[in-house]
C-alpha cells in the first residue's frame, strides 16, 4: 500500500487557520499564524520533538486554556490544519537544499518584512525544552545564529537596540532574509549531535 503524502496548506487553508487563531473563539494569548510558524520551526529543528498533544496546548496560550470550538468537527478541522502545517515544515527542511521560508508579516507601506512574531514563536518553542537546547546556547557559532532571533523577540533587547540608534524595521527585514539560511544550520547541528550520540554497531569478523 502506498501512502499519499499530505499536500502543503493552500493559501485558502492558511487564511482559514489564521482567521481562527485571531478570532473571538481563542484567548488573547493564542498564537497568530506567524508566531505558530516560528514555534513549530523550533520544535522541528530542535533536539527533540515532543508529541503533538504536548505542544498543541501551548498554541492556545496559558496552561489549560482552550478555544471555544463550534463543534467537535470544527476542532478536528483546525487541529488537522495545524498538524499539516507542522508536517509541511518537516518536508521543507529535509530537502537538499532546504526549501524553508519563514512565514512573516509584511509592512506593505514600507515594503519590509516583520519578523518579531515569528521570532517570539521560535523562542517559545525553545522554551519547551530549555535544558535540551543548552548545548546550542553553549556553541559559539550556533549561539551567534540564535542571538538575533532572541533579540528580535525580546522587548528589553529591542528597547536597547532602539536606544543605540538601531533601525528595528531594517533589523527585522534583514533577519527575515537570513532565516532561510539560519534554520537549516540549526537543524544540521542537532542532527550531527544525534548521530554522534547514537550507539555504534560493532561488526565482528569471522
Helix (H) / strand (E) containing 114: strand 112-114
- Structure confidence by residue, pLDDT tens digits, 102-124: 999 999 999 999 999 999 999 99
CA dist 95 → 7, 100, 187, 191 (Å): 15, 9, 12, 14
Cβ(33)–Cβ(18) under 8 Å? yes
Among 1-15, 35-49, 147-161, 179-193, name the one with the lowest average pLDDT: 1-15
- Structure confidence by residue, pLDDT tens digits, 22-64: 999 999 999 999 999 999 999 999 998 888 988 999 999 976 6
Specify the pTM: 0.91
Measured CA to CA, the distance from residue 119 to residue 185 in angstroms comes to: 16
Q: What residues contact 96, with CB distance under 8 A and at least 6 apart?
A: none
Q: What percent of the chain has pLDDT over 90?
A: 78
- Structure confidence by residue, pLDDT tens digits, 53-104: 889 999 999 766 889 999 999 999 999 999 999 999 988 998 777 789 999 9
Whether residue 146 has pLDDT greater than 50: yes
pLDDT at 3: 41
Cβ(104)–Cβ(118) under 8 Å? yes
Mean pLDDT, residues 160-164 taken together: 94
Measured CA to CA, the distance from residue 62 to residue 41 in angstroms comes to: 20
- Spell out the domains of the chain, with CATH numbers in brackets: 11-195 (1.20.120.740)
Amino acid at each position: 500500500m502506498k501512502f499519499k503524502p499530505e499536500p502543503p496548506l493552500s493559501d485558502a487553508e492558511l487564511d482559514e487557520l489564521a482567521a481562527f487563531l485571531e478570532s473571538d473563539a481563542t484567548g488573547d494569548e493564542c498564537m497568530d499564524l506567524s508566531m505558530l510558524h516560528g514555534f513549530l520551526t523550533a520544535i522541528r529543528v530542535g533536539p527533540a520533538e515532543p508529541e503533538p498533544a504536548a505542544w498543541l496546548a501551548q498554541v492556545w496560550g496559558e496552561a489549560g486554556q482552550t478555544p471555544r470550538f463550534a463543534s467537535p468537527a470544527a476542532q478536528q478541522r483546525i487541529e488537522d490544519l495545524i498538524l499539516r502545517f507542522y508536517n509541511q515544515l518537516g518536508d521543507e527542511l529535509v530537502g537538499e537544499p532546504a526549501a524553508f521560508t519563514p512565514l512573516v508579516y509584511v509592512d506593505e507601506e514600507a515594503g519590509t518584512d516583520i519578523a518579531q512574531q515569528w521570532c517570539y514563536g521560535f523562542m517559545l518553542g525553545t522554551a519547551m525544552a530549555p535544558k535540551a537546547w543548552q548545548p546550542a546556547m553553549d556553541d559559539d557559532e550556533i549561539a551567534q545564529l540564535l542571538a538575533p532571533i532572541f533579540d528580535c523577540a525580546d522587548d528589553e533587547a529591542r528597547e536597547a537596540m532602539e536606544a543605540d540608534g538601531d533601525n528595528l524595521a531594517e533589523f527585522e527585514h534583514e533577519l527575515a532574509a537570513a532565516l532561510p539560511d539560519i534554520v537549516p544550520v540549526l537543524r544540521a547541528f542537532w542532527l550531527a549531535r544525534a548521530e554522534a550520540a547514537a550507539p555504534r554497531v560493532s561488526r565482528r569478523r569471522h
